[in-house]
Structure 1
Amino acid sequence: MKRFFLYYILFFFILFSSCITNKDVVYLQDKGTKVNDSLQIQALSKPYRVQVNDVLSIDVKALDKELVEIFNPTTSAMGKTQQSLYFNGFTVDLHGNIEFPILGELNVLGFTVEEIEEKVKSELLLKYFKKTAQIFVTVKLAGLKYTTLGEIGSKGSNVLYQDRVNILEAIANAGDILDTGDRKDVLIVRQYPGGQKIHHIDLTNITAMKSEFYFIQPNDLIMVKPLKRKAIGAGQTATQTLTTIASIFSVLVSTYFLARNL
């Protein structure tokens, strides 16, 4: 009988320790790293370089507005939308090229948007315009697209029209990580010219703000694993855990006394 109740106590301890605590859900905690109150986020040392399947929005402006219309297929009365950019934007093909009006194929793989601006401007001046045309070229990514999976509020693809987005902004836009999600080991699947790589980031630690993966990149996949506590099946809070324990304890006690009376 004593051994039986010792098992109950051990089971009670395991379940009680499985409830989710503040340390599991609070972002950017100072875990004894002695960071300054005014932690500065350093800009990415390496600007984003265009990859295969990226969609570019390219605007060409000059003194003669009618003359440059052919170079701006995505301009319309409705403006530039995600749908119009999908059909009329400049998609980087598997060889790293875009098909630009008049100029034909331009290789942009591995270039920054600033470098592409200079390249398009130079080609236009060389083959089509004179310097007196006062050409102005603007190149932007057609939205920063990323995908979320796992223990997160909204799964699927999202597009944000910003030049830079950090992972907390991306997660907030997707409905935040659920209480049952593991914030200490969030996975980022990132595309590189040679393939994909998986990176890890601990969002409960304030040092995540200094990580090279704190800012997301186009086509990133953010995966949030479930906490091990969820697999146990106990509640997320102490109250829920105690309710679960009480129910299981009651069933076990009833089973034990019924077995003794047989």
Structure 2
Amino acid sequence: MKNKIALKLSLILGCMFLLGSCANKKTIVYYQNVEDVLLKESNDNKFETRLRADDLLMIIVSAEDPEAAAPFNLMNTMTTNPNTPAASGTMTQQLYLVDGNGNIEFPVLGTIKLGGKNKEEAVSLLTKQISQYITNPIVNMRIMNFKVTVQGEVNKPGVHTINSERLTLAEAIALSGDLTVYGKRDNILLIREIDGRRVPIRVDMTKADFMVSPYYYLNQNDIVYVEPNKTKINSSVVGPNLSLAISALSLLVTVIALAVK
């Protein structure tokens, strides 16, 4: 009789523990109201990358007359490898660094302010000024050091450098191997520099509303941090004391069994 009572109590307590640790679907599934949100999406949410300090830009000017365009391009540099028998090298395109005031030093034109402009505006400005010297110039621009940092409860945390100028929060999470089972999907921390200040922003990826917010696309140097959920926090507390908890539970079952004898 005692054994049966003890077994029943153990099963009840075990079920209560399992039920308490089960995750709610609403805290796990992404984009739960996606149909409602995207149907209301407007064209006002167009994303534009703005140039900022410390951006490294590749700017190449071309024209019908290559010799006329040559003075407006930085010279390529030769990088040699002394470890190879022939000391072979590779040509590397020099890049423009946007300084703290948002300026670059451009051949012939001198100091040009590009900080705060989007890519289209910057290309238009350069094209207009270069047109004073050569006919029909073509300006190509690319940000070469666009990167974001993803930390916390993801499978592959780290710094991601990409060759594109458009990276969504969802893509950054995917590059990090997605969230672990312990990641809080409804309270992701995004740290973004705005007007020289680092601003914390909270994003709920279980609701699709963020897809039409200014935080769907990431900016250069954004930091994404995924907090641990209660299950991870509780497990980190219980883990070191698991044997003690099991012993206490066994003692409790024994005491109750003796009490009902």
TM-score range, shorter chain: 0.7 to 0.9
Corresponding position of 1:51:
52
Superposition RMSD on alpha carbons, in Å? 3.7
Asked whether 1:122 is paired with 2:128, we answer yes
- String of CA shifts for 1:81-100, please: whole Å, max 9, x gaps: xx957xx2111111211121
Q: Is the 8 A contact 2:69 2:137 kept in 1?
A: no
Asked whether 1:180 is paired with 2:147, we answer no
- The Cα shift of 1:38 comes to 5.5
- The Cα shift of 1:218 comes to 1.4
Q: Which has the larger radius of gyration?
A: 2
Corresponding position of 2:193:
191
Gaps of 5+ in 2: 1-7, 80-90
- The Cα shift of 1:75 comes to 6.2
Corresponding position of 2:207:
205
Q: Is the 8 A contact 2:77 2:92 kept in 1?
A: no
CA distance in 2: counterparts of 1:250 and 1:118, whole angstroms: 70
Asked whether 1:252 is paired with 2:248, we answer yes
- String of CA shifts for 1:121-163, please: whole Å, max 9, x gaps: 222233xx23xx2211122322531111111122221122223
**Cα gap change, 1:105/1:90 in structure 2, threshold over 3 Å: closer, same or farther?**
same
CA distance in 1: counterparts of 2:120 and 2:107, whole angstroms: 19
CA distance in 2: counterparts of 1:174 and 1:74, whole angstroms: 37
What secondary structure does 1:68 align onto? helix
Look up the equivalent residue of 1:252 and give its one-letter code.
Answer: A
- The Cα shift of 1:185 comes to 0.8
Aligned length: 234
What secondary structure does 1:191 align onto? strand
Corresponding position of 1:111:
117
CA distance in 2: counterparts of 1:146 and 1:37, whole angstroms: 26
CA distance in 2: counterparts of 1:12 and 1:155, whole angstroms: 34
Q: TM-score scaled to structure 2, two decimals? A: 0.74
Gaps of 5+ in 1: 235-240
- The Cα shift of 1:47 comes to 2.6
Look up the equivalent residue of 1:99 and give its one-letter code.
Answer: E
Asked whether 1:95 is paired with 2:96, we answer no
Q: Is the 8 A contact 1:145 1:218 kept in 2?
A: yes
CA distance in 2: counterparts of 1:74 and 1:229, whole angstroms: 56
Q: Is the 8 A contact 2:29 2:206 kept in 1?
A: yes
* Identity score, percent: 28
Q: What aligned pairs does 1:1-262 form with structure 2 within 5 A after superposition?
A: 13=16, 16-30=19-33, 35=36, 40=41, 42=43, 44-45=45-46, 47-73=48-74, 88-126=94-132, 129-130=133-134, 133-142=135-144, 144-233=146-235, 250-256=246-252, 257=254
What secondary structure does 1:16 align onto? helix
Q: Is the 8 A contact 1:149 1:156 kept in 2?
A: yes
